[in-house]
Amino acid sequence: MASAEKPKLNIILCSPRGFCAGVVRAIDVVVLALKKYGAPVYVRHEIVHNRYVVESLKQKGAIFVEELDEVPSDDHPVIFSAHGVPKSIPAEAASRNLLAIDATCPLVTKVHREAEIHHRRGRDIILIGHASHPEVTGTMGQLPDGAVQLVETVDDVARLTPRDEGNLAYITQTTLSIDDTHDIILALEQRFPSITGPHKEDICYATTNRQEAVKVVAPQVDALIVVGAPNSSNSLRLREVAERAGCARSYLVQRAAEIDWSLFEGIKTLGLTAGASAPEVLVEEVMGAFAERYDITIDQVSTSEEHVFFPLPRQLRDVAQPEPAV
């Protein structure tokens, strides 16, 4: 199709989008471990929730496993994913003398530490999160069974049966919708007025920033695409936020090949963002696919700047910075 025959489309890029500092750190951990120790290195669960990233790391020599019994007892390291793990996992690795490297996002680790402090102070702990998410499994696994109760919705708050209503604390999964979490926190504070919250918001800066950009862009566009994986909590929340902010045609796609073009018929404007574990190359791939079918112009809406950096685990600080992982 000649360029003149293509329908016009204005793409509005959300900024910030894509990789956050915790994801960059986690990917660098795998790449640097391969550089320092040689292939293979083992990774328990997906290092981050993105198939493209995982496949790229597999090609470099990473082997992804579900549990530690799949890791042979040799000199090759095992890496724990950015989502964090229950305390039983490092303990198991230590009992087998495995070389363990922890790529848990420092903001997830912050939530773990909060949970431990509340527990030491005798508080019952309520965790706001999604039951099936590995971050929630890891956070609940920091403490003995029964020390943490999970709530997923406002309705769950009404069903809580704490031992001591006057000695409660809440923590949250880092990748939730700010608005949904706000409603649950409000319900907790109304039912338990003395409940203790985090000193600083648990939902991470990257989740907050990406959601705020989507809230600005969504009312301006006919459709919006979130580049991200279906098991990525922050990506799913971005799509929900876009829909709630006024863009009914909001879709999650992993790659350009997944785009259902019938969903975009007649659009004049398209919003585009990416979850915190989705690399920019996939955003560019989606833009390229639209450029083949539309005469595109590109604008960017930026709602904040990010300059966050997390230091590497000590085992890898002696290794030079790697080439970009993906």
Annotated binding site for dimethylallyl diphosphate: 49, 83, 133, 232-234, 277
The DSSP bridge partners found for residue 170 are 126
Helical segments of the chain, H only: 21-37, 51-60, 88-95, 106-120, 134-140, 154-158, 178-191, 205-217, 233-244, 280-293
Residues whose CB falls within 8 Å of the CB of residue 116, separated by 6 or more in sequence, listed in order: 142, 143
CA distance 256 to 274: 13
135 is catalytic: yes
Q: If we measure between CA atoms, which residue out of 209, 205, 254 comes closest to residue 46?
A: 254
- Binding residues, by number, are 20, 49, 83, 105, 133, 174, 204, 232-234, 277
The DSSP bridge partners found for residue 225 are 251, 272
Task: Exactly one of 135, 152, 201, 323 is catalytic; name it.
Answer: 135
Largest separation between any pair of C-alpha atoms in the chain: 70
Buried/exposed 99-121: b ≥16 CB within 10 Å, e otherwise: bbbbbbbebbbbbbebbeebbee
Residue length of the chain: 326
Tokens found for residue 257:
């090949």
Q: If we measure between CA atoms, which residue out of 36, 245, 44, 10 comes closest to residue 137?
A: 44
CA distance 153 to 129: 9
Q: Which residues are catalytic?
A: 135
